[in-house]
Amino acid sequence: MKIEDELKSKFRNEYHKLMVNMMLTTSRLGECFQHTIKDYDITPTQYNVLRILRGQNQKPVSIGLIKERMIDRNSDVSRIIERLVQKELIERTENSGDRRQKDVLISKTGLDLLKEIDVWEKQMDKRLQNVSESEAKKMNELLDKMRTDL
């Protein structure tokens, strides 16, 4: 559905329309995602941390590295880490080289949870197939280009 029809709105120009369209699309995708992960008792930000840790291939990382790779950089990573430790989805230990630093590692329980959520991601891939793979690639390139000066 065209954005003009969905929002019953007009736009100053194509750039304004693009910005609103991206916000609307992000919101709709986010709603779908939040609905799904609510069943797993984690938040989107906690999911982001778990994915970052899984990508480290069982190597412990610092909280600073996690913060650098977060989608939402305004998150309180220390608090998120604490909640994930309480849920036994990650492990946090003192860094042997610097006691002020903490090493964070995803647990087997965390990996198992992500495996379950991976099934949803594959379903989402299918839902997005109204866009061809080449169109998705081009859109990714354009979005990367847009973020260049942000």
Which domains are assigned to the chain? Answer: 1-39 (no CATH), 40-143 (1.10.10.10)
DSSP H or E run through 75: none
Residue 88, pLDDT above cutoff 90: yes
What 3-state DSSP class applies to 139?
helix
What is the strand order of the sheet 102-106 is part of? 61-62, 102-106, 90-94
97 conformational bin, left if phi > 0, alpha if psi -120 to 50, beta if neither: alpha
pLDDT class for 65, splitting at 50, 70, 90? Answer: very high
**Pairwise CA distance, residues 145 & 132, whole Å:** 20
CA Rg value for the chain = 19
State the sign of the Cα–Cα–Cα–Cα dihedral 44, 84, 122, 37.
negative
Model confidence at 96, pLDDT cuts 50, 70, 90, reads confident
- pLDDT, mean of residues 103-119: 95
Residue 92 DSSP class: E
* DSSP 8-state secondary structure symbol assigned to residue 141: H
Residue type present at position 34: Q
The chain-wide mean pLDDT, for the chain, equals 92
Provide mean pLDDT across the span 92-101: 83
- Percentage with pLDDT > 90 across the chain: 69
pLDDT of residue 134: 96
How many whole angstroms separate alpha carbon 62 and alpha carbon 104? Answer: 6
Contacts of 147 (CB under 8 A, 6+ apart): none
